[in-house]
Structure formats: structure tokens, C-alpha cells
Amino acid sequence: MADDILQRVRAAADKRLLFLPHTIRQMSRPDRMVATTEVEVVITTGEVIEDYPEDARGHSCLILGFGQDDRAIHVVCAPKDEYLAIITAYLPNPDQWTSDFRRRR
């Protein structure tokens, strides 16, 4: 199942990325800035760690990947016909995630 959503995510990303306003706010926080290039790398190389088939925004998922200096980044996104909606992107809090950032505590 995770492979199916990941294929759909990457196919949608090949068309266009749409960063929602909430995403831009999260990515722009001075204490944990995330670059759009890092989001692109996460989508291209990351792995689905949570799948949300019943999400109100449409089928979405949480992808774990690594950005600058090999730091963990989480990206929540939803594939659409014409684009990939980036719902949020953030640096996971070590207090809320296991040490490999793949499972919630």
C-alpha cells in the first residue's frame, strides 16, 4: 500500500509542487527552516512512514527523508491529478518520535 501512494506522490511531484500557505509558515520558522529543495529531495528519496487514505484533504501520507547535514525532515503531502499538494514540512521533534523518526512515541 505504501508503495502505491509513494508512486502516486512521485508522479504528481513530476508535474508540479504546490506549497500550501500553512506549509510555507511551517518551513519559514527561524528555529527550523526547511528549504524547498530539501522538500524535493525528501519526496524523491524518502520513504512513506504513515499512510492516510481517509484524509479529508484527499489520500495523503507522511514521508521521512533527509535534508541538509543529513537532518531528518517530515513531509505530509497529497497527490492530485495535476500537482502534489505539500500540506506541511517540518523537522520532527525527537521527544515525539523514536530515534529513527519513523514511529510516534
Structural domain contains residue 100: no
- Residue 26's pLDDT is what? 93
Residues of the chain where predicted confidence (pLDDT) is lower than 70: 1
The count of domains in the chain is 1
Structural domain contains residue 103: no
Structural domain contains residue 25: yes
Structural domain contains residue 47: yes
**DSSP H or E stretch at residue 7:** helix 2-15
Q: Which domain holds residue 74?
A: 2-90
Structural domain contains residue 15: yes
Predicted TM-score of the model (pTM):
0.95
Structural domain contains residue 79: yes
Structural domain contains residue 97: no
